[in-house]
Structure 1
Amino acid sequence: MSSLMSTAPRAAPPVAQALDAHIDGVGLLGPGLSDWAQAQAVLRGDVPYDAQKTVLPVPQILPAAERRRATAVIKLTLASGLEAVAHAGLNPADLATVFTSSSGDGRNCHEICAALAGSDRLLSPTRFHNSVHNAASGYWGIATGAMAPSAVLCAFDASFAAGLLEALVQVALLRQPMLLLAYDTDYPEPLHHVRPIPDSFGVALVLAPQAGARSLARLSLDPTAPFTELPADTLNDAALEALRLAIPAARALPLLRALARREAARIVLDDLPGQQLALQLTPC
């Protein structure tokens, strides 16, 4: 298991061989987006977006003891990740993973800060082991039995782009399917005042090196300009655009919109300040 935290500008990778992968499965859970099947109709504009509070399912796949300790982050990543893997028709135990989040488990961080600010500063072991940034990856391994490599990233508001880039690199190097999980959860007050993430949002993509029977689209870095200063793509629906801006993991929405519409598109996603990530999406 590895981890990475960075905010430094990235150099463009060599473009002699473009980084690409095929999207074989999608999982999604967020405000008013209960799963990928329901979200596709919203992103296509077939039904109006209704920004209901995210409902996090109980992770029945976990053993009872771990299920009781599961935080919002664990429930979110298991729900979105298992949906994506099911769509791809793969065994989750076989997949290497990339987990990426702008700030990890906000509520658990709040509880730890509250305990340290009180007179009794004893922390429960559960609070402590859920505080590390790779907790979601660990619970994924417990739930699925996965023993494959797992990378855990954080790049603040650029975390989705950073995770996607890492997953594309891993697919190119390993030449095997990879699961990307991007997720964020809300902070209670007073931390919410300085990190106003309003709700939970998780997206998972199964990326494969070759097209298969379940492939939805081919995704690649734009070989002419993988990093650009052009502004990121936005959404026409004001409520969906507000969601994209409010939750870092929801920066994935322009990509998911193009995927739901099954359209070929050049997509520019928010990345580090002054630098966006440019992609090409080609439906299969």
Structure 2
Amino acid sequence: MSALAVRVAGIGLWGPALAGWPASVAVLRGEAPADLSTTQKPSPPLLPPAERRRAPETVLFAAQAAVEACAAAGLSPGELPAVFGSAQGDIAITDYMCATLATAPFELSPTKFHNSVHNAAVGYWTIATGCRAASTALSAWTDTVGASLLEAAIQAHDTQAPVLVAVYDSAAVGPMADPIHHDCGFAFALVVDVDDPAAPGPRLVLEPLDGAGATEPDAAWARELRERNSSAIALPLLAALAGTTERRVRVAAGPGFVLDVTVRP
């Protein structure tokens, strides 16, 4: 793989202490405290009220970050190809499905079953936005952030057009809460485009790097949040995007495969 350069046209973010990108920049720079006990429930405006009420938490977090990134980029969500990544999908619904099938299988909710598939979030997104562009749902466990970013960058170069990438996870419940220590929701989204020196926005240069680990968050609160949600592995990258100087971060993108990302604000 050769280096890929992309421009970040828009950013969205939602999680504990991080209620939207503009409000999170100072926290990511270390200029404001991070209160991880402060979490507002997402309420993505593109989803009709009825859909918001029945949509699972994964959909709400993903859509909240995605709509913010599209608005920041000044682009219509209905026209953007989308890459949605999640390490686990919706664990709460998986737990419900397994428990109900084991105890009262005829009481299984069709709506819950509908929401149990891994691509539920991108499905809700494309229906709500009327998007007919290509959509991708992927999972690569703790490498999902890097794998999703790489997929979006490749698609942007292949099509010479912007691509939305959203990565999200929600809290684990039931027996799965023991091996998977997710206890909160978190999502971020980027609109990436081919590099254009005349256009605004930070630049990312992605290069393959073998035999090196991912960058650790600098702040204690970020390290804590990363342990509470796999998608928060993106925090070093987000902190670099919030900064004012060039930085390099490493993001795992697969077994033994790391992206060396140069961030140029």
Q: Secondary structure at the match of 2:104?
A: coil
Deviation at 1:120, TM superposition (A): 4.2
* Aligned AA (1:163): S
Distance 2:198 2:92 in 1: 40
| Worse-superposed segment, 180-189 or 237-246 | 237-246
Deviation at 1:76, TM superposition (A): 0.6
Point out 4+ residue stretches in structure 1 off by more than 4 angstroms: none
Distance 2:45 2:69 in 1: 17
Distance 1:120 1:23 in 2: 46
TM-score, normalization by structure 1: 0.88
Cα distance change of structure 1 residues 214 and 33 upon mapping to structure 2, 3 Å threshold: farther
1:221 aligns with 2:193: no
Distance 1:67 1:212 in 2: 39
Distance 1:168 1:255 in 2: 15
1:151 aligns with 2:136: yes
The aligned residue for residue 278 of structure 1 is 260
Deviation at 1:236, TM superposition (A): 2.2
The aligned residue for residue 167 of structure 1 is 152
Distance 1:109 1:85 in 2: 30
* Aligned AA (2:103): G
Q: Secondary structure at the match of 1:252?
A: helix
Following superposition of structure 1 onto structure 2, how do residues 195-206 of structure 1 map, counting pairs within 5 Å? 195-206=180-191
1:126 aligns with 2:111: yes
> Which of 246, 249, 252 lines up with 2:231 in the alignment?
249
Residues 100 and 182 of structure 1 are in contact (CA less than 8 Å); yes or no, is this contact kept in structure 2? yes
Number of residue pairs aligned between Structure 1 and Structure 2: 265
TM-score, normalization by structure 2: 0.94
> Which of 168, 180, 202 lines up with 1:183 in the alignment?
168
Following superposition of structure 1 onto structure 2, how do residues 1-284 of structure 1 map, counting pairs within 5 Å? 13=1, 15=2, 18-211=3-196, 215-222=200-207, 226-283=208-265
Residues 59 and 79 of structure 1 are in contact (CA less than 8 Å); yes or no, is this contact kept in structure 2? yes
Deviation at 1:201, TM superposition (A): 0.5
The aligned residue for residue 3 of structure 1 is none
Residues 14 and 42 of structure 2 are in contact (CA less than 8 Å); yes or no, is this contact kept in structure 1? no
- Listed one character per residue, the Cα deviations across residues 62-85 of structure 1 (whole Å, up to 9, x for unaligned) are 234433321101111111000011
Q: Secondary structure at the match of 1:281?
A: strand
Deviation at 1:38, TM superposition (A): 1.5
Q: Secondary structure at the match of 2:107?
A: coil
Distance 1:165 1:120 in 2: 40
Residues 77 and 181 of structure 1 are in contact (CA less than 8 Å); yes or no, is this contact kept in structure 2? yes
Cα distance change of structure 1 residues 69 and 44 upon mapping to structure 2, 3 Å threshold: same
| Worse-superposed segment, 251-260 or 267-276 | 267-276
Cα distance change of structure 1 residues 123 and 53 upon mapping to structure 2, 3 Å threshold: farther
Equivalent pairs: percent with the same residue?
Answer: 40
Cα distance change of structure 1 residues 99 and 118 upon mapping to structure 2, 3 Å threshold: same
Q: Secondary structure at the match of 1:211?
A: coil
Structure 2 unaligned spans of 5+:
none
Q: Secondary structure at the match of 2:249?
A: strand
* Aligned AA (2:181): P
Q: Secondary structure at the match of 2:53?
A: helix
Q: Secondary structure at the match of 1:54?
A: coil
Residues 137 and 152 of structure 1 are in contact (CA less than 8 Å); yes or no, is this contact kept in structure 2? yes
